[in-house]
């Protein structure tokens, strides 16, 4: 074993000291949970994956901050879980304009879960509408290539249109630079194929990552986290991935990470097809479960997609009530 191999193995051991599978499966969905604010989303995500007949379990990756009532909610529902450390770069990066990005670094942990052959990381504000187990079979580089190949991981692109016109976003985050814009003229193809990893600003969205865990890949990620260059990563995990593995990831169709904003008129409604979407991503606030009764009663075209979440979540709660589970989550 080379010195670098030893360093990579040590990096993995630091974040994943117990490499025992928490489920009897070599392929898993994972999702990060650090607090109970996102717990309704996680529970709906788990239910939705089972509802569409996925053969693979969801594992909750929890940090030290996750409270006892959250653990009880997972345990009573039989959702497997694994402790992970809270990842942060060595150099402090100010994300006060978008505090959610502090948590996002920990979404890189699945690269270290070498006890599994395939991990598909999902954000807890996602909802599976159709079976997408094919992601577990998607061709990626094997760990033996030591993260030096051209298919290190797979993801959908980030939408860089900035439809909410957030002033702290980079000036080049405009529709003309968005990878999805390049697909507007071929909407049928956009349902089956993702844009090239070099399209637009060439940044993956970190909400869904298809990963073959490996010590080499995680070692490369850790070196980036420990480098002063991490100060330049405006969008945390996805900025890092686009830098460390530039052009060496697989772009998959938007249907696997259908950002709710893409459905809005004038964003990417040119390619969005409700019936094709397999997994909705309710990015940005407010989340569906944060809606007030008045907001639920007075939805507009932009928020009507939240009704999809509520319908499935009410189904979840009904089934749980029948099993005697009624803990408010």
CATH code of the domain in which 202 resides: 3.90.550.10
Residue 90's pLDDT is 84
- Hey, which bits of the chain come out as E strands? 27-33, 58-62, 81-83, 118-122, 126-128, 153-155, 208-211, 250-251, 258-259, 279-281
The verdict on residue 226 lying in a domain is yes
User: What is the distance between the alpha carbons of residues 123 and 283, in angstroms, rounded to a whole number?
Assistant: 9
Would you state the pLDDT for residue 230?
84
With contact defined as beta carbons under 8 Å apart, do 215 and 11 qualify?
A: yes
In a domain, 324, yes or no: no
Tokens for 290?
């944060």
- Host domain of residue 191: 3-312
pLDDT for the residue numbered 158: 98
Sign of CA dihedral 306, 236, 245, 209: negative
Domain assignment present for 326: no
Residue 244 domain-assigned? yes
Residue 323 forms part of a structural domain: no
- Radius of gyration over every alpha carbon of the chain, rounded to an integer in angstroms: 19
As to burial, measured by CB atoms within 10 angstroms (0-12 exposed, 13-18 middle, 19+ buried), residue 141 is buried
pLDDT attached to residue 98: 62
Residue pair 174/160 in contact by the 8 Å Cβ criterion:
yes
- Res 95: pLDDT: 65
Tokens read off for 92:
């402090």
Q: Which residues of the chain fall below pLDDT 50?
A: none
- Tell me if 307 is assigned to some domain: yes
232 falls within a domain: yes
Structural domains of the chain, count: 1
Which pLDDT belongs to residue 100?
66
The rounded distance, in Å, linking the Cα atoms of 15 and 9 is 10
């Amino acid at each position: 074993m080379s010195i670098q191999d030893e360093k990579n193995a040590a990096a993995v051991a630091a974040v994943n000291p117990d490499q025992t599978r928490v489920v009897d499966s070599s392929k898993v969905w994972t999702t990060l949970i650090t607090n109970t604010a996102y717990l309704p989303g996680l529970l709906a995500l788990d239910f939705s994956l089972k509802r569409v007949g996925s053969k693979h379990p969801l594992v909750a990756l929890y940090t030290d901050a996750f409270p006892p009532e959250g653990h009880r909610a997972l345990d009573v529902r039989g959702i497997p879980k694994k402790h992970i450390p809270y990842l942060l770069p060595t150099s402090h990066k100010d994300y006060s304009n978008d505090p959610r990005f502090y948590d996002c670094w920990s979404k890189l942990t699945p690269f270290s879960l070498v006890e599994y052959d395939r991990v598909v990381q999902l954000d807890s504000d996602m909802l599976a509408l159709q079976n997408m187990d094919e992601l577990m079979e998607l061709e990626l580089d094997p760990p033996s290539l030591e993260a030096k190949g051209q298919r290190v991981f797979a993801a959908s692109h980030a939408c860089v249109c900035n439809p909410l016109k957030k002033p702290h976003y980079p000036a080049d985050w405009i529709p003309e630079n968005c990878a999805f814009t390049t697909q507007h003229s071929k909407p049928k193809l956009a349902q089956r194929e993702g844009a090239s990893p070099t399209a637009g600003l060439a940044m993956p969205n970190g909400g869904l990552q298809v990963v073959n865990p490996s010590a080499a890949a995680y070692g490369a990620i850790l070196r980036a986290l420990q480098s002063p260059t991490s100060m330049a990563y405006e969008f945390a995990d996805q900025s890092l991935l686009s830098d460390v593995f530039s052009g060496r990831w697989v772009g998959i169709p938007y249907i696997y990470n259908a950002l709710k904003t893409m459905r809005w008129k004038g964003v990417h409604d040119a390619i969005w097809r409700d019936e094709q979407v397999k997994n909705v991503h309710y990015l940005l606030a407010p989340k569906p479960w944060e809606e007030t009764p008045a907001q639920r009663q007075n939805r507009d075209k932009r928020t009507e997609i939240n009704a999809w979440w509520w319908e499935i979540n009410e189904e979840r709660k009904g089934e749980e009530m029948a099993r005697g589970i009624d803990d408010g989550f």
